[in-house]
Structure 1
């Protein structure tokens, strides 16, 4: 017997991944701006970018869940269950791509190389993460746990 399907359409997976991408992109860009502003090397800049990607990814989910009248503690649990794997996959892929593009991280915020590399890295991460989200939603995990709070 197969696992029950919980709205595991490609459309649902793309929607969940776009949500994840939004939080990751905000965190990535803010982290790069902070790292550049403070003159940090690549490693701490990547770490702050990843941390902020998780913060903004979780915050975006929590915003909707809190609006549905759920307590803060319950909203945190929902966000952790809904987004952790998706953000983790997206961040691993995104940062791996950025690291392997020659000169991308050293290019700086004023460089087209940096911005094009970041856009490319996020696009690759999106493509890799969509099937992960589809698989998770199909098993009642990931963004499937948020659906009961949508109006």
Structure 2
């Protein structure tokens, strides 16, 4: 790839770059959200505490994936935290808003048990829709030097 593809200041970010950024975000969100939903459901928690745990863990895992990558690339911890926050906050927030809205609006999904297809279908379907909605957001941000464009400056 050319340097302009990585610096985030090119006239427009590529769809490929936006897809990769969104997949990166989705991976962290999915790990955290699935873990939170599984823990809350297994413990018999209500909808609100389960969603709060899932969203908190989605942000934690989403940020940590970026944090570890930029620390491994040689950035100090304080700077790495700033990069992770700048790179991932909007992407994770959009993804979580979309995903959790779909789960909350799917009849019976929040009451479904871990061994039911409805539980997994709503969760995975929410991720799929969130990916589709978040990718153009990431493309727009990267094209303006924001979001994952900040991470690319440190690779």
Q: Where does residue 113 of structure 1 map in the other structure?
A: 118
Change (3 A) 1:6 1:37: farther
Contact 1:86 1:132 in 2 (8 A): yes
TM-score, normalised to structure 2's length? 0.92
CA deviation profile, 1:81-123 (whole Å, cap 9, x unmatched):
0000000000000000001111111111111111011111000
Unaligned runs of 5+ in 2: 1-8
Contact 1:6 1:137 in 2 (8 A): no
| Structure 1 vs Structure 2 CA RMSD | 1.4
CA distance in 2, matches of 1:107, 1:36: 8
The counterpart of 1:51, out of the listed 35, 43, 56, is: 56
Contact 1:98 1:105 in 2 (8 A): yes
- Superposition misfits of 4+ residues, deviation over 4 angstroms: none
CA distance in 2, matches of 1:38, 1:98: 18
Change (3 A) 1:135 1:120: same
Contact 2:42 2:114 in 1 (8 A): no
Residue-pair matches, total: 148
TM-score, normalised to structure 1's length? 0.94
